[in-house]
């Protein structure tokens, strides 16, 4: 077991405009420290994307923000209160989490799976209600899966399944949504489809989103706030236009590149340097 000090800090209020924050956060699996001394403020009503090389701690950080992993040191704060001290049901009403590879029960239908997002709102004296029905119908309409309601989830394409999982998270009706690599295993068209959906939900409903992505150019295109990590620490954070530079790409990913304006959005676009054996100009 880890011998890292697990003393919890005093509760503090996060910076203005940040309901979700981390303070001096250290995360470990047994004796292997993955994230150390990390501070983070998630801007409210914005899309924050976390990027970095494999094994840098991105998904581990998201697990901690969703209270799936207990900090070794420091704390995650929700509305200024330590996440570890908040009842699970109360957290589930404020924060929705879509893990990297969710698994649906065998033969469950789309409607059944999406309706499970309403569980945090259920009570023994108050079961299914008109409000639950409205929330599920709205979530399915916004993710364009209503016509799939009676189909088994395991018969759907990758892009359809991902939309269904997002619909379940939306039916939970939380202000904060955490997405761990929502485009994993999807082809390019389905990746764009899912990220466009996330951006639209942010714009239309003001949802605060934190997503982990592998693709730096996708992150730069869809993020309001970009967090670059390396070896368990935050290297840079801010607007993509400020963060994504050739120096940062070299430092974080070990890749020589040229950063040019995206011809569609005007934001930063990373063009890798000449590959080994590439033709000279």
Is 110 a domain residue?
Answer: yes
Is 276 a domain residue?
Answer: no
pLDDT of residue 277: 57
Q: How far apart are CA 189 and CA 232, in angstroms?
A: 31
Is 160 a domain residue?
Answer: yes
Q: What is the pLDDT of residues 35-91, one digit of tens each?
A: 999 999 999 999 999 999 999 999 999 999 999 999 999 999 999 999 999 998 889
pTM of the model: 0.84
Are 168 and 182 within 8 A, CB to CB?
no
Number of domains observed in the structure of the chain: 1
Q: How far apart are CA 210 and CA 49, in angstroms?
A: 6
Is 97 a domain residue?
Answer: no
Is 138 a domain residue?
Answer: yes
**Ranges in the chain, pLDDT < 70:** 1-17, 121-126, 275-281
Is 60 a domain residue?
Answer: no
Domain that holds residue 149: 102-173
pLDDT of residue 13: 38
Q: How far apart are CA 110 and CA 154, in angstroms?
A: 9
Q: Which two tokens stand for residue 193?
A: 């489809």
pLDDT of residue 12: 39
Q: How far apart are CA 108 and CA 152, in angstroms?
A: 5
Q: Percentage of the chain surpassing pLDDT 70?
A: 89
pLDDT of residue 122: 61
Is 43 a domain residue?
Answer: no
């Amino acid at each position: 077991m880890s011998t890292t000090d697990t003393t919890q800090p005093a509760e503090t209020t996060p910076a203005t405009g940040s309901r979700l924050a981390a303070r001096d956060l250290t995360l470990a699996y047994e004796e292997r420290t993955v994230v150390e001394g990390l501070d983070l403020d998630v801007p409210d009503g914005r899309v924050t994307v976390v990027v970095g090389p494999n094994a840098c701690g991105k998904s581990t950080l998201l697990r901690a923000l969703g209270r799936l992993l207990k900090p070794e040191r420091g704390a995650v704060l929700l509305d200024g209160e330590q996440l570890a001290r908040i009842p699970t049901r109360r957290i589930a009403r404020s924060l929705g989490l879509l893990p990297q590879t969710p698994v649906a029960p065998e033969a469950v239908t789309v409607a059944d799976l999406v309706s499970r997002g309403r569980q945090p709102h259920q009570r023994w004296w108050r079961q299914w209600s008109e409000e639950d029905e409205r929330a599920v119908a709205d979530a399915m309409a916004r993710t364009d899966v209503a016509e799939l309601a009676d189909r088994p989830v395991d018969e759907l394409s990758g892009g359809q399944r991902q939309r269904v999982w997002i619909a379940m998270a939306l039916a939970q009706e939380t202000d904060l949504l955490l997405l761990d690599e929502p485009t994993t295993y999807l082809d390019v068209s389905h990746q764009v489809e899912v990220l466009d959906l996330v951006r639209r939900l942010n714009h239309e409903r003001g949802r605060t989103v934190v997503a982990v992505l592998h693709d730096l150019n996708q992150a730069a295109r869809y993020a309001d706030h970009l967090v670059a990590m390396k070896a368990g620490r935050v290297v840079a954070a801010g607007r993509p236009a400020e963060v994504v530079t050739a120096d940062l790409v070299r430092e974080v990913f070990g890749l020589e590149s040229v950063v040019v304006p995206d011809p569609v959005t005007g934001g930063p676009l990373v063009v890798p340097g000449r590959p080994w054996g590439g033709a000279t100009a």
